[in-house]
Amino acid sequence: MAGIGFELKRLFSKEGFLLKLRANLYASVVVSGPMLLGAILLLGVKYISGLAGASRHEQDLLIVVITYSILFPLLLTSTISYVLSRYIADMLFEGENRRILPSLYGSLSLLLIVGAPGWAVFLYLSKLPIEYSLLSFALFCESLVVWMQINYVTAIKNYKSILIGFASGVLAGLLIGYLFVRLNFDVVGSLLVGACIGYGIMLIVYTIVLHKYFPMGSGSSLKFVEWIDKYPALAFVGFFTTLGLFIHLMLMWASPWGVQVHGLFYHAPPHDIPAILAFLTILVTTVNFVTSVEVNFYPRYRLYFSLLNEGGTLGDIRKVYLEMLTVLKHELFYLAQRQMFVTVIAIVVIAGIIDNIGLGFTTMMIGLFRVLCVGYALFAIGNSVMLILLYFADNKGAVFSAFVFCIINTLGTYYTLSLPENYYGFGLAAAGFGMSVVALLRLSFYTKRLEYFVLCKQPIFVAKKMGLLTRLVHKFDSAN
């Protein structure tokens, strides 16, 4: 007789579901730490070069070359850093530690093959002196490696190493740069060498940390590419958020405020400097997310999903669900409150201090600083909500939020360029606001129907779908 049909496989538990997803969220959170330290490096370089009596042009050149050489690799790695984090989390979960290092070298080769020639062309077109070009090229490659390594170090939650690596690199770089300057070497060259050595130190520290933790590994180094096919949303989230965070800088470089420093190297100091300072104010949310939201929300979150996965009754699930949402609401509220508190202090107190001590700030720049503070604060809140969406596997919602941020910032900044200068910065503010609103609405909509999204929307079966990239990798692997 025909059997009773079949039993549907519970894809759900086999996947280990959402619990693993958490790991990749750290990346985005902790990545802003190094970004902040990068900002400190820039300020340090500027200070030392000023001290050494470098010309205005030399100072500017230093800053733009270093900024460009670490910013573009960051944008490049952002395209795959979320996906890679997910890959690493999956491999860690499955105990496949040996597949992890190969993916680092695979992804590095991939990005270097794309990025390095691109950067070489950029440098060539900029007609930078050859020795600066070489240093910039080295810095580009180093920072690309470092950004990528950070994904891996965060995955093993070795935050201390990240910060130690970064801090020691920045410190050593500045120190060596300073030494060379004192020895009367060319200022720009010295500090570029310093930056290269600084990033070189980070690279070595992270390499040691990673090789200590993971085995040399085996298997395809391009296996992770399949994860781009599997979770394309993560690639978009990473890319849109990072691009959104910097697009207004680039637009300003291209604007009438933009000044050509050398070749294709532009900057817009009246905008750049307030932006870097304002960016520092979201550190509070970065820390808050890890220490408070994570700590208080995550246990409920985990309980909720383990109840779902491991046979919790409807009543229990309901109860934990309500608790989880209550905690989430509180945490997000506190997070926003703290961010706003710091932002208000920045707007009132810090802006006042800057105004008083000068630092070369014009009234216009102080106004811009205030607007950008609000913009980054709103972004920090929206970004946190977006991370929560990712917690709930709402990839669609997360991508949409990130996209809204990126697109409003692009169009908004572009539009404000046609307005009087005191409207500058409102593009970012509108983008942060838009992202927060979209992400919050989505979160509210989604969590109301949470069981529907995590259960019903689950496919009844998994179609073995081979994406384009996966097939390419298979071809590539079999050719070897």
Partner 1 sequence: MNICIILEGSYPYVRGGVSTWVNGYIRALPEHEFILWTITDLESKQGQFAYNLPKNVVAVNEISLDTALKIRVRKNPKTRFSDRERESLAQLIRCGEPDWQVLLTLFSKQSRSPIEFFMSEEFLDILKEFCNDEYPYVGFVDMFWTIRSMFLPLLYLIGGSMPEADLYHSASTGYAGVLGALASKKFNKPFVLTEHGIYTREREEEILRSDWVVPYFKSLWISMFYMLSRLAYDSAHAVTTLYDRAGLIQQEIGCAADKCGIVRNGIFVDTFGAIPPKSSGDWVDIGAIVRIAPIKDIKTMIYTFSRLKQDFTKVRLHILGGIDDEEYHQECLDLIDYLDVKDISITGLVNIKEYMQQLDFTILTSLSEGQPLAILESLAARRPVVATDVGSCRELIEGRGDDFGHAGICVPPMHQTELLNALVDMCNNEEMRLTMGEVGYKRVKAFYEHEKMVADYQNIYQKAIKSWQESASS
Task: Determine if 14 is a binding residue for partner 1 (CB under 8 A).
Answer: no
Indicate the residue among 1 and 479 with the shorter CB distance to partner 1. 1
Residue range at the interface with partner 1 (CB under 8 A); choices 136-144, 263-271, 398-406, 454-462: 454-462
Strands 265-267 and 259-262: antiparallel
* Angle of helix 269-280 versus helix 22-51 axis, rounded to 10: 130
Task: Determine if 459 is a binding residue for partner 1 (CB under 8 A).
Answer: yes
Tally Cβ neighbours within 10 Å of residue 182. 12
Footprint of partner 1 on 317-356 (CB under 8 A): 317
Indicate the residue among 10 and 127 with the shorter CB distance to partner 1. 10
CB burial readout 311-343, b (16+ within 10 A) else e: ebeeeebeebbeebbebbeebbeebbebbbebb
Indicate the residue among 207 and 309 with the shorter CB distance to partner 1. 309
Tally Cβ neighbours within 10 Å of residue 200. 18
Task: Determine if 8 is a binding residue for partner 1 (CB under 8 A).
Answer: yes
Task: Determine if 312 is a binding residue for partner 1 (CB under 8 A).
Answer: yes
Task: Determine if 418 is a binding residue for partner 1 (CB under 8 A).
Answer: no
162, 150 contact by CB (below 8 A)? yes
Task: Count the residues of the shown chain that bind partner 1, applying the rule CB under 8 A.
Answer: 28
Indicate the residue among 12 and 213 with the shorter CB distance to partner 1. 12
Q: Return all residues near 402 (Cβ < 8 A) that are at least 6 apart.
A: 236, 237, 240, 241, 244, 386, 435
Indicate the residue among 6 and 130 with the shorter CB distance to partner 1. 6
Which one-letter DSSP state was computed for residue 212?
H
Given candidates 451, 467, 469, 474, which one binds partner 1 under the rule CB under 8 A? 451
61, 100 contact by CB (below 8 A)? no
Q: Return all residues near 479 (Cβ < 8 A) that are at least 6 apart.
A: none
**Phi, psi (rounded to 5 degrees) for 223:** -55, -35
Task: Determine if 4 is a binding residue for partner 1 (CB under 8 A).
Answer: yes
Task: Determine if 7 is a binding residue for partner 1 (CB under 8 A).
Answer: yes
Question: Which residue, 75, 419, 424, 90, is CA-closest to 227?
Answer: 90
Task: Determine if 183 is a binding residue for partner 1 (CB under 8 A).
Answer: no
141, 13 contact by CB (below 8 A)? no
Amino acid at the residue 212: K
Q: x/- contact string, 420-449, with partner 1 (CB under 8 A)?
A: -----------------------------x
Indicate the residue among 1 and 183 with the shorter CB distance to partner 1. 1
Given candidates 53, 184, 310, 418, which one binds partner 1 under the rule CB under 8 A? 310
CA 254, chain centre distance (Å):
23
Indicate the residue among 182 and 457 with the shorter CB distance to partner 1. 457
Given candidates 111, 187, 308, 378, which one binds partner 1 under the rule CB under 8 A? 308
Given candidates 212, 256, 356, 461, which one binds partner 1 under the rule CB under 8 A? 461
Task: Determine if 357 is a binding residue for partner 1 (CB under 8 A).
Answer: no
Given candidates 130, 183, 216, 314, which one binds partner 1 under the rule CB under 8 A? 314
Given candidates 309, 319, 415, 437, which one binds partner 1 under the rule CB under 8 A? 309
Residues paired with 265 in a beta bridge: 262
Measure the CA–CA gap between 452 and 347, rounded to whole angstroms. 43
Binding site for partner 1 (CB under 8 A): 1-8, 10, 12, 308-315, 317, 449, 451-452, 455-457, 459-461
